[in-house]
Amino acid sequence: MAVHGPAMTDVARLAGVSHQTVSRVLNGHPNVREQTRLRVRAAIAELGYRPNGAARALVTGRSQVIGVVAQNTTLYGPASLLAALEQTAAEEGFAVSVGSVRNLDHGSISAAVERHLSHRVAGIVVIAPVESAGEALEHLPKDVPLVTVDGDPSRPVPLVTVDQVAGARAATQHLLDAGHRTVWHVSGPSDWFDSVGRIDGWRQALLAAGVEPPPLMPGDWSAASGYRSGQMLARMPEVTAVFTANDHLALGVLRALHEFGRRVPDEISVVGFDDVPEAAYFIPPLTTVRPDFDAVARASLQMLLAQIESGTGGALRQTIAPALVARESVAPPRH
C-alpha cells in the first residue's frame, strides 16, 4: 500500500490558514502577514512537507529546474563549480539538470541547450572556460535566461568569473615580496580563459615591479606537464621562484625539483592556483590561490534568477576575487 507524505491541506490545517495562503507563502507572494508566513513555515517544517514541483510550475508558470551545460571533466575547477551550483540551487528551491558534453564546441553546446529547453527549464548556466564555447553562446536564443561561468570576458553575454588576473598578480607579488628578483610561470592550455588571465596577471605583476618577464613555460593542467616543466626549471640555477597555473602543475614541478635535489622552499619557492584539498598535504604544504567557487555559484544563480524574474538580461559582468593561501612552499631566496 502506497504511503503518501503530508499534503498542502495538512499544512493549512496545522497552521490554521487556508490552502491558498499556504500556496502564497510557498510562492513568495508579498501579500502575506509576516506572522502568518512564520506560522506556515513552522507547519511545513514540523510536517516535513515538500511541495510538488510540477504543481508549483503550473501555479507560477515557472519551472523549478535550472539547466547546466558543462564539459564532462574531472578537473578540479569546473567540477567544484558544478558542485557549488547544485548546492546553491538546492538552497534556492531549484533542482539542477546537468547536460554534460564531451567538447565545449558550437554543436555540442547548442544541442545541450536545446535538450534543456525541450524540458522547459527556468534558465541555463553554461560553464564555458574555453575559446571554442564563445561562438555557440552568441547564437543561443536571446529570450532564454542565460549566465556563463568562467566564459569569454570579451563577449556580450552575462558572465560570472573568478578574477584570474588578480589571483595571478597576488601569487606573483607574494614571491616578489619574499625577495625573489623574478618569477617563472608554468601556464595552463592557451585556449582556456583561466590560463590566459593567469598569464596576464603574472606579467602585470612583474612589469609593475620593473621586471621583464622570463620566457613562459607552456603546459596543460596535468601533474605530468608540470613535471616536464619542472625538469627544465630544475636545471636552471638562476630559477628561484615558480608560479604554476594550477596545483596539479605545482605537484609535478615539486616532484621534478625533488628528483634534481633542488630543495623547496630553501632553493626554489613554488606557488600554485586552485587550493585543491590535497594542497595542504604536499611536501612542503603548498602556498596557492583559492578561488571562491561558492561565491561564483551564488552570484551566477542570483544573476540568472534576476533575469527569470524581470525577463531582461540584467547585469552583464561580475568578478569574484580569490584569496592567497600562504603555507610553507615560499621562502626568501638564498644569496
Q: What is the mean pLDDT of each run of 10 residues along the chain (335 residues)?
A: 63 86 74 85 82 47 81 85 90 87 83 84 89 77 85 85 97 98 97 95 98 97 97 97 98 98 98 96 98 93 86 77 98 89
Are 205 and 181 a contacting pair, CB within 8 Å?
no
- Dist. CA 83–CA 61, nearest whole Å: 27
Q: Give me the pLDDT at residue 314, please.
A: 58
Are 136 and 110 a contacting pair, CB within 8 Å?
yes
**Exposure string for 92-108, b = 16+ CB within 10 A, e = fewer:** eebebbbbebeebebeb
The phi and psi torsions of 163 (rounded to 5 degrees) equal: -75, 85
User: Cell numbers 625538469 label which residue?
Assistant: 231
Which domains are delineated in the chain? 8-51 (1.10.260.40), 65-162+293-321 (3.40.50.2300), 164-291 (3.40.50.2300)
Q: Give me the pLDDT at residue 5, please.
A: 65
The phi and psi torsions of 291 (rounded to 5 degrees) equal: -75, 145
Residue positions counted in the chain: 335
320 Rama sector, left if φ>0, alpha if ψ -120 to 50, beta otherwise: beta
Q: Give me the pLDDT at residue 228, please.
A: 98
Residue 277 burial (CB < 10 Å; 0-12/13-18/19+)? exposed
How far, rounded to the nearest angstrom, does the alpha carbon of residue 55 sit from its chain's CA centroid?
Answer: 32
Q: Give me the pLDDT at residue 200, please.
A: 98
Question: Which residues are within 8 A (CB) of 204 and not within 5 positions of it... i.e. 6 or more apart?
Answer: 165, 169
Are 307 and 98 a contacting pair, CB within 8 Å?
no
